[in-house]
Amino acid sequence: MKRLIVSSTDYTPALDLNPANLTMVFKGVSRPENVGLFYQQVIDWVDDIAAKAEQLTTKAIKIIFKLDYCNSASQKYILIFLERLLELRNKGFSLDVEWHYDEGDDKMLEDGEDIADAVGIEFSFHTF
């Protein structure tokens, strides 16, 4: 399992997916032109973790979203990989999801709440 680090652009968030401590960080703007292509690397990474779940010594997955903007297509793919992570929770892994949003950005807070409700995972919400 390899660490996946992707620099942010004007359209895509920075990614830091670390298999050593099972931490996933998404930071910036998420409105890629080809959202499926961009998030497929995240889904593949999660699938790789799931395939090697029995070999992992840590069973705590932490996901941190610090998104300034996230379009509806990106939200769909976030739901997809969070649903994949639910399968790991059923295998004894814990999921800790943090949703960070700008203090005055009620839309991003609502988006995080909607995603949490849709996937059935409790998020902790933090302002920045």
Which tens digit of pLDDT belongs to each residue from 82-120?
999 999 998 899 999 999 999 999 999 999 999 999 999
The residue segments making up the domain with residue 78 are 4-127
Q: Tell whether pTM > 0.85.
A: yes
- The enclosing domain of 22 has a CATH number of 3.30.750.24
Smallest Cα–Cα separation from 99: which of 113, 79, 81, 82?
A: 113
Kindly tell me if the per-residue pLDDT of 17 is higher than 90.
yes
SS3 assignment for the chain = CCCEEECCCCCCCEEEEECCCCEEEEEEEECCCCHHHHHHHHHHHHHHHHHCHHHCCCCEEEEEEEEEEECHHHHHHHHHHHHHHHHHHCCCCEEEEEEEECCCCHHHHHHHHHHHHHHCCCEEEEEC
Check residue 1 and give its pLDDT: 83
Number of domains in the chain: 1
Question: Are residues 65 and 26 in contact, defined by beta-carbon separation less than 8 angstroms?
Answer: yes
Question: Are residues 55 and 93 in contact, defined by beta-carbon separation less than 8 angstroms?
Answer: no
Compute and round to an integer the Cα radius of gyration of the chain. 14
The alpha carbon of residue 22 and the mean position of all alpha carbons in its chain are separated, in whole angstroms, by 11
Check residue 12 and give its pLDDT: 99
What average pLDDT does range 10-16 have in this prediction? 99
